[in-house]
Chain A
C-alpha cells in the first residue's frame, strides 16, 4: 500500500493560515474517520496533534484544526507562529488494525 500523499512543503508568514492536504484512497482516508496528524521537530519524536479527523488532545492549541472530505484530509494551522515550523505527518487507519502515514510536509514560517 502506498503512502498517503502530502505536499513536500508549505510556507506562510506569522499570523497567516496554512492548510496541509493528505490524499488517500477509498480503503484508508475515505473509508474511516480515523485520520490523525503529528508534528515533528528535527531530532525529536513525533507528537500527536489531531485524532479522529478533528479532535485535539488536551494541550494542543485550537489554532490546529483537522477536517476531511472524501479521500482527502486536511490540517489547518491558523495564526501561524515561528515555533510551528516543523514537519507534519498525516496517518490513516487502513483496516485490519494497520495504519498508513503520509510522506510528510515541511512547514516554513
Chain B
C-alpha cells in the first residue's frame, strides 16, 4: 500500500523559513516523479512544485519561484520542500503527492502538513 506521510509544518513569522518532509513507502520511490500541492484554509487546491524521479529537473508555480525549493533523497525514500521568505499567503496545508512521468495527474496523496505564516 502506498503511504505518504508529511511532517515539519508549524507556525512561522513572515520572512521565516521551514522545511517540510514527506516519507514515502509501499512503492519504488526512485521511479516516480513527486509533487507538492497546497490548500489554503477553506480554499481550493494549488499545484506548487514537481520533481523528476532522479531529482535533476524541478518545476514551480510562479508565486513560489525563488522562495521554495523541492528536493528528494531516493536513498531515504523522502521528498522535501524548503520554504523561505514566507508570506502570510503561503499559509496552507501542504500535501505531498505521487505523480506520473510528466506530472499529468496525482494518484496518491499524504494527509498534509499545516504551515501557518503569522506574526
Contact = CB atoms under 8 A, between A and B. Distances in A.
A55 to B, nearest CB: 9
Interface stretch (A42-50, A68-76, A77-85): A42-50
B104 A57 contact: no
Contacts, number: 70
B57 A98 contact: no
Interface of B: 35, 37, 44-47, 50, 57, 59, 61-62, 95, 102-112
Contacts of B107: 48, 51, 57
Nearest to B51: A97
A100 interface: yes
Interface residues of A, number: 27
B59 A97 contact: yes
A5 to B, nearest CB: 11
B105 to A, nearest CB: 4
B44 A103 contact: yes
B59 A96 contact: yes
Given A99-B47, A101-B47, A48 B103 contact: no
B45 A104 contact: yes
Contacts of A102: 44
